[in-house]
């Protein structure tokens, strides 16, 4: 039987700690690493991050846009990086933020989550602007194959506040509505373990009270970008996420990737140790 994604993540975080290494081959980093601004450069970048992460941390998150900008050749590079990461036993979260309706959304889900698909990952980030209900087909496909979905719920960029803190008919914020509806979906799906397989994206520096989320403690993984260079430290994990901190996947990109191809493995090891230190503290 396929292990549900939520349970797999729980085991990996228990063993390896919360660090998720972002694979973000953006222009400045390709330059800094001495790699070409092309598909071959992104491929090399991605493979090096996978190699340095394997055996040190448990999760990687390739940022799809940085491959997409090189067209089909960039996507072929991404296929190699995804395959290498999965072969290394890492949990692979494709950060693509796809969102659509009906058969169109189903096609995105099958691109990233169907076993044997070219872009097969362990989980996909999705965008709920068209309604959480429009993602049900994606949740079904994920569940059938032990895959995960991370629904954007509350992001930390200031431009997002007017929309995400708007008030729905329920009197809750848009972010709270998303967390509430997705949590119900997890429950309906008859979780067998402690965590559901539909998680959330909630920024590391989001204030849960301001975002209308104070009442929630979802039993599902929380992908939290914004650790490292974007402002949150390992010590913030417990401060900000409280009782939910064991469910947090702490995503860091720049803070680790700027160590360069030769310093990368040491940077990851040091960071994993910091998170371990804090969780003992």
- Residue 104 interacts with a copy of itself (CB under 8 A): yes or no: yes
Q: For a copy of itself, which stretch binds (CB under 8 A), given 84-92, 152-160, 255-263, 269-277?
A: 152-160
User: Minimum CB separation from a copy of itself for residue 81, in Å?
Assistant: 12
> How many residues of this chain interact with a copy of itself, rule: CB under 8 A?
60
Concatenated DSSP letters of the chain: -PPPHHHHHHHHHHHH-SEEEEE---HHHHHHTT--SSHHHHHHHHHHHHHHHTTT-SEEEEBTHHHHTTHHHHHHHHHHHHHHHHHTT-EEEEEEEE---HHHHHHHHHHHHSTT-TT--SEEEE--TT-GGGGHHHHHHHHHTT-EEEEEEE---GGGHHHHT-B-TTSSBHHHHHHHHHHHHHHHTT-SSSS-SEEEEE-TT--TTTTT-TT---SS-EEEE-BGGGSB-HHHHHHHHGGGGGGEEEEESHHHHTTHHHHHHHHHHHHHHHHHHHHH-
- Residue 47 interacts with a copy of itself (CB under 8 A): yes or no: no
- Give the x/- contact pattern for a copy of itself in 236-275, rule: CB under 8 A: ----------------------------------------
For 161, what's the count of Cα atoms within 13 Å in the CB-facing half-sphere? 10
Helical axes 102-113 vs 136-144, angle rounded to 10°: 30
Nearer to a copy of itself, 54 or 85 (CB): 85
Which residues are part of the catalytic machinery? 97
- Residue 108 interacts with a copy of itself (CB under 8 A): yes or no: yes
Q: For a copy of itself, which stretch binds (CB under 8 A), given 1-9, 10-18, 106-114, 261-269?
A: 106-114
Nearer to a copy of itself, 89 or 131 (CB): 131
Residue of 164, 96, 171 lying closest to 126 (CA atoms): 96
Q: Which of residues 183-242 bind a copy of itself (CB under 8 A)?
A: none
Nearer to a copy of itself, 229 or 270 (CB): 229
- Residue 79 interacts with a copy of itself (CB under 8 A): yes or no: yes
Q: For a copy of itself, which stretch binds (CB under 8 A), given 121-129, 192-200, 239-247, 262-270?
A: 121-129
- Residue 88 interacts with a copy of itself (CB under 8 A): yes or no: no
Q: For a copy of itself, which stretch binds (CB under 8 A), given 3-11, 162-170, 211-219, 237-245?
A: 162-170
- Give the x/- contact pattern for a copy of itself in 58-77, rule: CB under 8 A: -----x-xx-xxxxxxxxx-
Tell me if 78 sits within 8 A of 62, measured CB to CB.
yes
Q: Which of residues 22-41 bind a copy of itself (CB under 8 A)?
A: 24, 26-27
List interacting residues with a copy of itself (CB under 8 A): 24, 26-27, 63, 65-66, 68-76, 78-79, 97-105, 107-108, 110-111, 117-119, 127-134, 152, 155, 157-170, 174, 177-178
């Amino acid at each position: 039987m396929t292990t549900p994604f939520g349970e797999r993540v729980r085991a990996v975080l228990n063993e390896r700690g919360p660090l998720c290494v972002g694979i973000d081959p953006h222009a400045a980093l390709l330059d800094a690493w001495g790699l070409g601004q092309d598909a071959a450069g992104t491929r090399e970048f991605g493979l090096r991050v996978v190699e340095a992460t394997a055996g040190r941390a448990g999760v990687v998150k390739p940022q799809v846009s940085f491959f997409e900008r090189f067209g089909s050749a960039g996507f072929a590079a991404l296929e190699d990086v995804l395959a290498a990461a999965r072969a290394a036993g890492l949990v692979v979260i494709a950060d693509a933020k796809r969102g659509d309706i009906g058969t169109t959304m189903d096609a995105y889900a099958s691109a990233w989550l169907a076993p044997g698909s070219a872009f097969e990952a362990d989980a996909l980030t999705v965008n709920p602007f068209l309604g959480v209900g429009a993602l049900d087909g994606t949740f079904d496909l994920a569940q059938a194959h032990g895959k995960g979905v991370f629904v954007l719920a509350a992001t930390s960029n200031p431009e997002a506040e007017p929309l995400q803190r708007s008030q729905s008919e329920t009197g809750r914020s848009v972010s709270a509505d998303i967390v509430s509806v997705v949590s119900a979906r997890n429950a309906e799906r008859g979780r067998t373990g402690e965590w559901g397989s539909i998680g959330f994206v909630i920024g590391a520096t989001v204030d849960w009270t301001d975002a209308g989320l104070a009442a929630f403690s979802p039993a599902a993984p929380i992908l939290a970008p914004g650790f490292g260079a974007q402002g949150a430290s390992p010590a913030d994990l417990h401060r900000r996420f409280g009782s939910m901190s064991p469910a947090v996947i702490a995503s860091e990109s720049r803070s680790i990737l700027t160590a360069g191809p030769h310093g990368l493995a040491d940077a990851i090891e040091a960071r994993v140790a910091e998170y371990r230190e804090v969780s003992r503290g």
